[in-house]
Structure 1
Amino acid sequence: MKRLILLFTFFIGINAFSQTDEEVIKSIYDTSLSNGKSYEWLDHLSRQIGARLSGSLNAERAVQWTKEELENLGLDKVWLQPVMVPKWVRGTKEYAYIETSSGETIEVNICALGSSVATPALGVKAKVIEVHSLDELNTLGRENIEGKIVFFNRPMKATLMNTFNSYSGAVDQRGSGAKEASKFGAVGVIVRSMNLRLDDYPHTGNMNYGNTPLNQRIPAAAISTNHAELLSSMLKLDSTVEFYFKQNCKQYNDVLSHNVIGEITGSEFPDEYIVVGGHLDSWDLGDGSHDDGAGCTQSMDVLRLLKLSGIKPKRSIRVVLFMNEENGLRGGRKYAEIAKQKGEKHIFALESDSGGFTPRGFSFDCSNEEFNQVLNWKPLFEPYLVHSFVQGGSGADIGPLKDGNVVLAGLRPDTQRYFDHHHAANDTFEYVNKRELELGAAAMTALVYLYDKYGVK
């Protein structure tokens, strides 16, 4: 009887070993769609913990909870990696209105941009100068800008199919608008929200002052796209209208936080590392479900799906939940710094930070030789409609790992709805589809499986 059991176990092992890549990937998808955990985890992260701005109590609650969940998976190692992060607090809700020359006021929706200074206690009220680019400031000069509020109103370009390209083409006004406008004596900045549709949600996001002295920094806020349209049309009719806004944000000293890391140690090449992850922090207006709770719970489920599929990785596979992508990238930089100090050899890193929508493929930051290997795997993903493989781009948190050898990749879901929710109050759990999220987790697991099995060129 004992010999019969041993033979049975032997043949089961042979069968598992002899599975084709197609069969393994189908098993991964079947498990994710029938027994996935990413949606359940996201429900808790979003609705029980909520918004997770770096340095906040909720961010630390998320650190402790995700660490416990990874420990429950029975991974070989789970630990917290300390990292100092900025602590910026929004304060009480912002308030703004447009005032006509006749004294009528129209309340509008704004939100302070991340890292902005507050307005004076009584707010800021001034005439408005509308511009569509940073370069336009130079053309207008100080004589047309000094003492005014600069209104940056360049929309995201609607004709681009990849909405991330639309975002990239407009976001400089948010990031550097206040820094540049202050050079010409502006007293504040209002920026059209980074959003392709017209709605009433202002979208926050980080901005920076560069080397601008503290006493010369001016407050910056985003205005909803509907109200940006309204302000622009009113300025065309009457250039003397004024804008008032008040915000109470504050920057504190850096505080201690953590990256959360879990690992399955490799059976053959334990000193070669594969990373999959997302960023645990979020902005504070919604609950951060798409940006980037989805990427975090998908990444956690990658390790779980590998274990459930009976795959014993050759290489060490880590899930890393990075802290502080939104307003500093401290977590990604710290992880890369420690990896370099330890001489760790990372061969592949994958990030999910584009929302929990239907996966369409991956982008790869790698050599042509490496990309050719990836193209050989493309047919394996075609049955799942995840076969848009492009070269260039990966993820912000894994970017610091780039050294000319490691292959970096990003999950690329359908982008059409992402910026409806990005950095806004409607980035909430009810806008995440369970099946779409689980399809993304399966696609990520399949790609990690292939890199673990075949390595890099």
Structure 2
Amino acid sequence: MKQFIFLLIILSISLTTFAQKVNQQDSIMLRKIFDEALVNGKSYDWLEHLSNSIGGRLSGSLEAERAVSYTKEELEELGLDKVWLQPVMVPKWVRGVNEYAYFESTTGNSTVVNICALGGSAPTPEGGLKANIVEVKGLEELAALGKEKIEGKIVFYNRPMNPKLIQTFEAYGGCVDQRYAGAMEASKFGATGVIVRSMSLKIDEHPHTGTMTYGDLPLEDRIPAAAISTKDANLLSGALKLNPKTTFYFNQTCRAFPDVESFNVIGEITGSMYPEKVIVVGGHLDSWDMGDGAHDDGAGCVQSMEVLRLFKRLDYKPKHTIRVVLFMNEENGLRGARKYAEVAENNNEKHIFALESDAGGFTPRGFSFQSSDEDFKQIENWKPLFEPYLVHYFVQGGSGADVAPLKKDYNVMAGLRPDSQRYFDYHHAHTDTFDKVNKRELELGGAAMTSLIYLYDKYGTVNDPVE
């Protein structure tokens, strides 16, 4: 019996020593990743070109086409095992000339305000649209007012993001329905147009665009929709309180065209042991036409490219196939994500892990995971490795819109979670520009993503499918 207990003690000591050795090896590897990213990183240079030499990359635009060519060439320069373009049909919507708007609280007394057309909106009639305006706080209040009080008027949705919520993406989700479905619902009550408060916690003069839907409404029933800056939304709301008969005028010349061909940009390092099993990292290459899409989502694209560059630079040979995917058309359709998932399904590819960066290039705080409880226990064991870099906020929750279609019972989806307090200051606005991105914060995010990919490549997932 004593001999048996002695053997158990020796075994326990050996396992503990082995675990410490493994953790030390991982710690050393993460240090190498962060050192290389912070000293010789390429992500900031790539982003500078995407932002300043190409600009806003709305699906179907010349700029999106140029971004496809540029990122493909840069991935080829890394010496990956394979780089290719995956065709996908995307919508083409053009903003037209700059929008113009004002409101009149008394006859002849007009106040010019800052607006921008929502993505996919119909244009105003030639010469613009002018009507009385009615303010509501959301879709429920719209329905409560009914057709009698809505017909022939412009609906002004003015529900702000909730400042009490520390997680700003939660605040965004709490009011974005009025932007997305506001025009569709208002048209059912005979409204002639829609103005929506910008999705931002900052009070300024910059309107924020974003996608919207008309559902299955026929073309003749589709009404124009625009976002108004938060500062001007407050001004308009105040004017309506003083004079409920205030009128609003706006003019926009946006137009939708037939779908056009574009591409997902894909590059990979083939796995040395399990080439048939894929780990994906990516962001979306398209952006809105306002600003240059530096945070949304140029940052996520270049960070994802940096993951593969770091592995090549450190001469790390992954067990699994590591694939970067720069998705097209996340902003107004998710066509790229759906096409990639469709092709993966048709090719019977096994994606064991997918990581997306689409929350800006700010200081990384950690990751959110879509996973089983068993997989999340494994993830929590890795937190100490990230603590020296202050990137150890690990939670179960969402991942990202582009990787979500890849979710299976056996795999794990994740999203990089940077500090989000400033993200919606710039999101979908003219102010989303390269000068708003901090080089070190961007590089820290790329290093954190590479570290997580490394751990998943080394240890796999709990429910990794067996061939």
Q: Which residue of 1 aligns with 2:451?
A: 446
Q: Which residue of 1 aligns with 2:350?
A: 345
- Report SS of the residue matched to 1:236: helix
**Correspondence 1:239 to 2:244:** yes
TM-score with structure 2 setting the length: 0.94
Q: 2:121 touches 2:254 (CA, 8 Å); kept in 1?
A: yes
Q: Which residue of 2 aligns with 1:123?
A: 128
Deviations 1:312-363 (A, max 9, x none): 1000000000000000000000000000000000000000000000000000
Letter of the 1:359 partner, please give it: P
Q: Which residue of 2 aligns with 1:226?
A: 231
**Correspondence 1:38 to 2:11:** no
Cα RMSD over matched residues?
1.1
Unaligned runs of 5+ in 1: 1-16
Using the TM superposition, give the Cα deviation of residue 405 of structure 1 relative to its aligned residue in structure 2, in angstroms.
1.8
Which of 362, 368, 380 is equivalent to 1:375? 380
Identical pairs, percent = 68
Q: Which residue of 2 aligns with 1:10?
A: none
CA separation of 1:18/1:368 partners in 2, compared to 1, >3 Å: closer, same or farther?
Answer: closer
**Correspondence 1:302 to 2:307:** yes
Cα separation, 2, equivalents of 1:350 and 1:100: 50
Using the TM superposition, give the Cα deviation of residue 101 of structure 1 relative to its aligned residue in structure 2, in angstroms.
2.4
Using the TM superposition, give the Cα deviation of residue 99 of structure 1 relative to its aligned residue in structure 2, in angstroms.
1.1
After TM superposition, the structure 1 = structure 2 runs for residues 6-405 of structure 1, keeping only pairs within 5 Å, are 20-405=25-410
Cα separation, 1, equivalents of 2:371 and 2:218: 40
Using the TM superposition, give the Cα deviation of residue 18 of structure 1 relative to its aligned residue in structure 2, in angstroms.
11
Cα separation, 1, equivalents of 2:204 and 2:58: 24
Using the TM superposition, give the Cα deviation of residue 199 of structure 1 relative to its aligned residue in structure 2, in angstroms.
0.2
Cα separation, 2, equivalents of 1:320 and 1:197: 32
Cα separation, 1, equivalents of 2:107 and 2:52: 46
Cα separation, 2, equivalents of 1:403 and 1:246: 46
After TM superposition, the structure 1 = structure 2 runs for residues 418-437 of structure 1, keeping only pairs within 5 Å, are 418-437=423-442
Letter of the 2:379 partner, please give it: V
Q: 2:361 touches 2:437 (CA, 8 Å); kept in 1?
A: yes
Deviations 1:378-437 (A, max 9, x none): 100000000000001000000110122221000000000000000000000000000000
TM-score with structure 1 setting the length: 0.96
Bigger drift between 398-407 and 29-38 goes to: 398-407
Deviations 1:9-54 (A, max 9, x none): xxxxxxxx99700000000000000010000100011001111000
- Report SS of the residue matched to 1:181: helix
- Report SS of the residue matched to 2:292: coil
Cα separation, 2, equivalents of 1:250 and 1:227: 25
Letter of the 1:396 partner, please give it: A
- Report SS of the residue matched to 2:402: coil
Using the TM superposition, give the Cα deviation of residue 219 of structure 1 relative to its aligned residue in structure 2, in angstroms.
0.3
Bigger drift between 93-102 and 267-276 goes to: 93-102
Bigger drift between 179-188 and 102-111 goes to: 102-111
Cα separation, 1, equivalents of 2:430 and 2:33: 34
**Correspondence 1:412 to 2:417:** yes
- Report SS of the residue matched to 1:100: strand
Moved over 6 A (4+): none
Cα separation, 2, equivalents of 1:227 and 1:420: 15
- Report SS of the residue matched to 1:157: coil
Letter of the 1:352 partner, please give it: S
The aligned length equals: 442
Deviations 1:139-181 (A, max 9, x none): 1010100000000000000010000000000100000000000
